[in-house]
Structure 1
Amino acid sequence: MHVLVLGGTTEARRLAEALVDTLPATARVTSSLAGRVTSPKLPPGEVRVGGFGGAEGLAAWLRAHQVSALIDATHPFAETISFNAAAAAAAAHVPLLALRRPGWVPGEGDAWHTVGSLADAATALPALGQRVFLTTGRMGLAAFAELDQLWFLMRSVDAPEAPHPAHMEVLLDRGPFTLEGERELIRRHRIDVVVTKDSGGAATAPKLAAAREARIPVVVVRRPPVPEGVAVAGTPEQALTWLRAQGGSQV
């Protein structure tokens, strides 16, 4: 058995750990990382870094390395690789599962403004606040580059590149974050609106609770859909159950 995990997320690392612990020594577990983050946390098992060359390149890799099952455990917003994975799995006749942590759900007291894209988030911002806590990562900052009248606190793992907003302070940090820490960021920087992607998970959720407490709006970018026809699991444990159903009796 050879399982390829398209990774880079906490769930992908947890799945790789479970597979390495569960599968016999003769099985292979390979995690593929995009290589966009400096010094990523490496999962156990074999690791490859970099792209495949689109859907055709991934399909060729699946065939050449005799992959038995493909699990797309990338970030919920890694839309391109997810659609490439679906096309490649179909072409190579390899079972495919999308591992997606559940999205966030607004609670009582939340002032969420759900939008379909970063561009839509940028359009909504001027009417909602002037000091923005931008937590959408360093990719896609061009969508906010023309908002010269606003000030941004931008948090990401690695430093951003231009184009980006003219009035921006960069905070390099990696989750998980605490509610106390998020409260302090909002207070110290006088944040009056938060922008986030619906990434889900507990590691970055405290900013939502902090925004609720501060009674400030949150612009939430809706996650893209999983490619049509692809099975979905919400946890690594569910992914293991799916793998057993594919004939992986050794799992």
Structure 2
Amino acid sequence: MIGFILGTSEGRKILSLINKYTNDIAVTTATAYGGELLKEFNIKSLNTKPLNKEEMIKWIRINKIKVLVDASHPYAEEVTKNSLECTKALNIPFVRYERLGSLDNINSSNIMRVKNYDEAIKVIKNIHGNILNTTGGNNVTKFLDLDFDYRIIHRILPSPKVLSKIVEDGISIKNIIAMQGPISYDLEKAFIKQYDIKGILTKDSGIEGGVLEKYKAVEDSNIKLIAIERPSFTGTLIFNKEEELVKYLVKEYN
């Protein structure tokens, strides 16, 4: 059986391609919402809860997985680290599908590149105006109690669970936008105008993540795009195109 860790929109395309050849696949996602999006595909085993290292090893063994494909989000470092360690422990091949970034070859004085949230916060404190955080709801507590004279608006998925969590964490309702991305250029521009945004915090989550629309809106508004750099991953089996990944899997493991 082929195992897939899916965490991006490309997962649907990967499954539609692999289903032309086989349904002998097991899939794990981090959320029930992610699993719901895959219900139309022919999958023998679907897990929709986060797995730690021990749980992932058990999942691999139960499903008799012979190759593991990590197609998790480019910034899901812990997931990739755990899945790589699991494949080494079980002596099975590890294959990485990695979405390409969009900002690598763009030079602009409006792009401010940072390595992590700590660096991002230092940059934010020197921006005189409101900030739009588009990096998700998992790190909102980092922005509480800052010595900052302006608002930080958090755009998150429209999930009751995520919304409840960040409100409980102390984020005011007035500083939350709950919306499914990616967001169009026109809508990004509208958010910038509506909330008088002077800087957008983002991850370089690629074309599929809408980062180019953010960049274009930032350029045209002459504000700052604070971009958290992508984690680096080195390995021998890395694919950036769904068709090439599936072609390899079918040839080697079907």
Same structural fold, with TM-score higher than 0.5 when normalized by the shorter chain: yes
Q: Give a deviation string over 1:44-83, Cα, whole Å, max 9, x none.
A: 233211133x223322321221112211111111111110
Give the alignment's TM-score, normalised by structure 1: 0.87
Aligned length: 242
**1:201 pairs with one of 195, 203, 207:** 207
CA–CA distance in structure 1, aligned partners of residues 145 and 32 of structure 2: 25
- 1:1-251 equivalent positions in 2, closer than 5 A: 2-23=1-22, 27-35=23-31, 37=33, 40-43=36-39, 44-46=41-43, 47-52=46-51, 54-105=52-103, 107=106, 109=108, 111-147=110-146, 148-157=148-157, 158=159, 159=163, 160-161=165-166, 162-164=168-170, 169-205=175-211, 206-226=213-233, 228-229=234-235, 231-244=237-250, 247-248=252-253, 250=254
Please give the alpha-carbon distance, in whole angstroms, between the structure 1 residues aligned to 2:34 and 2:247.
32
Distance 1:243 1:39 in 2: 22
Cα distance, 1:14 vs structure 2: 1.2
Deviations 1:101-160 (A, max 9, x none): 101225354511111111211121011232001100001112211225220221110315
Name the CA distance, whole Å, in 1 between partners of 2:145 and 2:152.
12
Q: Out of 85-94 and 101-110, give the one that drifted further.
A: 101-110
Identity over aligned pairs, percent: 19
Amino acid at match of 2:71: A
Please say if residues 112 and 224 of structure 2, whose CA atoms lie closer than 8 Å, have aligned partners that are also in contact.
yes
Q: Which moved more, 1:75-84 or 1:41-50?
A: 41-50
**TM-score, with normalisation over the residues of structure 2?**
0.86
Q: Distance in 2 between matches of 1:32 and 1:178?
A: 29
Q: What is the deviation of 1:193?
A: 0.5
Cα distance between partner residues in 1 of 2:172 and 2:61? 47
Q: Give the secondary-structure state (helix, strand or coil) at the position aligned to 1:89.
A: helix
- 2: CA distance between counterparts of 1:164 and 1:211? 28
Shift in alpha-carbon separation, 1:149–1:230, aligned structure 2, 3 A: farther
Change (3 A) 1:216 1:164: farther
Gaps of 5+ in 2: none
User: Whose helix fraction is larger, Structure 1's or Structure 2's?
Assistant: 2
**What letter is aligned with 2:182?**
P
What SS does structure 1 have at the residue aligned with 2:18? helix
Please give the alpha-carbon distance, in whole angstroms, between the structure 1 residues aligned to 2:27 and 2:14: 10
In structure 1, runs of 5+ residues without a counterpart are none
Q: Greater CA deviation, 5-14 or 100-109?
A: 100-109
| RMSD (Å), alpha carbons | 2.3
Residue type of the partner of 1:119?
Answer: D
Of 235-244 and 68-77, the range deviating more from structure 2: 235-244
Cα separation, 2, equivalents of 1:77 and 1:37: 19
In structure 2, relative to structure 1, the CA distance for the partners of 1:230 and 1:236 (3 Å cut) is same
